[in-house]
Amino acid sequence: MKTALRDAVRTLLRPIHLVPLALLSYWVASAYGYLRPALFRTWFFSSDEYVIAAEVIRFSNLDFRQRFFDLPGTPFMLLDSLLWALFYGVERVLGLAPSTTLATFTFQHISALFVLMRATTLVCFLLSVMLLYALVAKLMNSAAAAIASLLLVMSPIYCSYSSFTRTESLSMVLILLAAIWLLRGLERVPRVSAHPPTIRDHVFIAGVLLGVAAGARLHSLAAGLPPLLMLLWLERQPAQSEYPAWILKWSKWTLPPAWAAALFLCWMAKARLAAAPGAQSFVITLALGGLLMSGAALLLYRSRATRALVVRVLSPDAIKLLLGCCAGGVLGNPTALWRYNYFLGSVQMYSRYRDWDRMQWPFLKNAAWYLRRYVQAIAPDKITLVLFCVGAILVLIARDRRVTPFLIGSVLFFFSKPLTLVASPHHVILWLPFFFIVCAYPLAKLVDRIPKHTISGEASAIAVLLAVALGCVLSLTPGPKVARAVAFATERRLQNIGRATAWIKQNTQPQGPVAISYFCLNPDAFYTWLRSLEVPVPLSVFDGREYLMWRGDRSTLRGRTGYACATPPDVVSIKTNLDVQSFGEGTDPYSDPRFERVATFGSGPDEVDLFHFDQR
């Protein structure tokens, strides 16, 4: 044991391993330095953060009647509510929050809550970079791991969505942990496929991690499940012609009630969800898909001619992985069991998230636009695209059983969502590690070909790594630096919103309506939003005015007089886009004669304007 440990330490201390680790440390420290200021931007920065903060406040007060499911986001909310409760407990112990309830403490320190949520996102971002390094080092070598981690930490879209409160980085951490844990299980001898899943079973726990990731972002399953299943399928293992006894026993007792439950869910969806076709389709597809697939597997297994094929495709390990996903899904999103109506409401909301213009385009034009859009998000720099193409060719030539699943998983992204879905670049974030694994493959093969048993050979490998790393650094868009610049730019607008809010409170009468557009969201809009989600809010934070979350719709202001806050960028959504959805409903306060500009704060992209309107 001591000899093995000594050998492991000596291996780790070799320069070929120390240099990539030093580079990883530099990537992580540099990214933290650039993204740290974004933690402390003005707390009412974005509505993306509001809805998560609402549930964190709710959960931290032990109220688990979740209202908002960001498909679904629950693990992130539960984690932050626990951290916030711990923070409150420390403050009480130190005497900094005497005789103050957690609810009161929260609204007294609301900016600290937002810092905590952003810090959770940032920590998960940095952890995901380190986990990708560990995964690639296991799949290939340390040199390739350093380059893959560099590509991830420099990704502009991933950095942007890790500079404020989002759940993608937590999902990525869980997906990468699942992949690493599964690979560890595949390396164990002997394997435990013949035994039921337990907490010591690497395959089952990998599935649990993936299920919890799906609780953070539902499409984690579409990202993580295919490569993990393919790792199992491509693994060399003894041929099996029959299932072990535990699978036969479990299927005998679980399949009939599962099929009955699936049929019941289909009936309920047809009867109760007719007004929500997106949610209805989701439930029926999920229930019928599970019923048909398990039924087909059973029928094929009963035939001797196809039994071995079923066991090969739906192996005992694959079953354990799927069972783990189910367990992790419940563990990561338990509130959906009793708040399913709100969960399905979120599904229905996102089912309408379509690009109505592109729906009219011919298929080939749509597909070409869709491909260009996401390739630009994945590889904004030519070097990334070149590395991926070369890596993909080398993986296919080598028929690498460990890397091929990640290559296929990356390509499957382009088939993971409807073509007419609004093509937002952040949709690709959870697939980025798979693309960058393939990008690092050429360097891995090159370094493997250099003899490293001599000092000169090891020095040559390190020189190649440093040359490639330098080339990438000079060629890549610096994502952390861009995210930092954007954070500073938005902070100027937020300061102007604060000034506009102070003007309203000083120059307008209470009890009047104040319409707040998206780019003018302020503390009062946040408190109003909380109250609409039935989160307890102290009356002391309200000033008597009626704050309206204003999308630009005329009907909201018709017959009323009051004030409105808007910015020039708001016009696209409150006028142009709204008129497309409901003709004549949009409003442009800058040209509408019923709006009179009474105050302006800032200029250019930071401009915030206040209007008095009279639509009686």
Task: Give the 3-state secondary structure of residue 565.
Answer: strand
Q: What's the gap between Cα 527 and its chain centre? A: 26
CB of 528 closer than 8 Å to CB of 549: yes
- Contact in structure between 80 and 116 (CB atoms under 8 Å): yes
Q: What is the pLDDT of residues 393-417, one digit of tens each?
A: 999 999 999 999 999 999 999 999 8
Residue 75 pLDDT exceeds 90:
yes
Enumerate residues 6+ apart whose C-beta is below 8 A from 222: 412, 416, 417
Q: Find, among 189, 441, 231, 200, the residue nearest to 317 by Cα.
A: 231
pLDDT tens digits, one per residue of 224-248: 999 999 999 998 777 778 898 899 9
Distance, CA of 274 to CA of 195 (rounded, Å): 44
Q: How far apart are CA 232 and CA 203, in angstroms?
A: 9
Two tokens, residue 308: 């071995």
pTM comes to 0.94
Per-residue model confidence as pLDDT tens digits over 450-492:
887 778 888 898 999 999 999 999 999 999 999 999 999 999 9
Strands 546-549 and 513-516 come out as parallel
| pLDDT score of 484 | 96
Q: 82-129: per-residue pLDDT in tens?
A: 999 999 999 888 887 777 889 889 999 999 999 999 999 999 999 999
Pairing of strands 561-566, 513-516: parallel
Bridge partners, residue 564, by sequence = 515, 611
Q: Evaluate if residue 5 carries a pLDDT over 90.
A: no
Distance from chain centroid for Cα 14: 36
- What would the pLDDT profile of 559-571 be if each residue is shown by its tens digit? 999 999 999 999 9
Chain centre distance of CA 477: 22
For residues 54 and 530, the answer to whether their CB atoms sit within 8 Å is yes
**253 burial via Cβ count (<10 Å: 0-12, 13-18, 19+):** exposed
Instruction: Write down how long the chain is.
Output: 616
Half-sphere exposure at residue 24, Cβ-oriented, CA atoms within 13 angstroms: 23
Token pair of 229, please? 């299943």
b vs e for 341-357, b when ≥16 Cβ sit within 10 Å of the residue's Cβ? ebbbbbbbebbeeebee
Q: Residue 546 is inside which H or E element, if any?
A: strand 546-549
Distances (CA, A) of 113 to 105, 168, 555: 10, 19, 35
The closest of 192, 140, 144, 226 to 402, measured between CA atoms, is: 140
In the DSSP assignment, the letter for residue 140 is S
**Per-residue pLDDT, 296:** 93
* pLDDT value for 73: 92
Residue indicated by tokens 């050979």:
457
Least confident of 5-14, 358-367, 533-542: 5-14
CA distance 476 to 499: 38
**Band of pLDDT at residue 14, cut at 50, 70 and 90:** confident
Give 573-592 pLDDT, tens digit per residue: 999 888 877 888 899 999 99
Q: What is the pLDDT of residues 130-168, one digit of tens each?
A: 999 999 999 999 999 999 999 999 999 999 999 999 999
pLDDT for 3:
59
The pLDDT of residue 43 is 95
Closest C-alpha to 476, from 149, 39, 249: 149
Q: Residue 11: pLDDT above 80?
A: no
Which residues neighbour 313 within 8 Å (Cβ) at sequence distance 6 or greater? 233
What was the pLDDT predicted at 13? 61
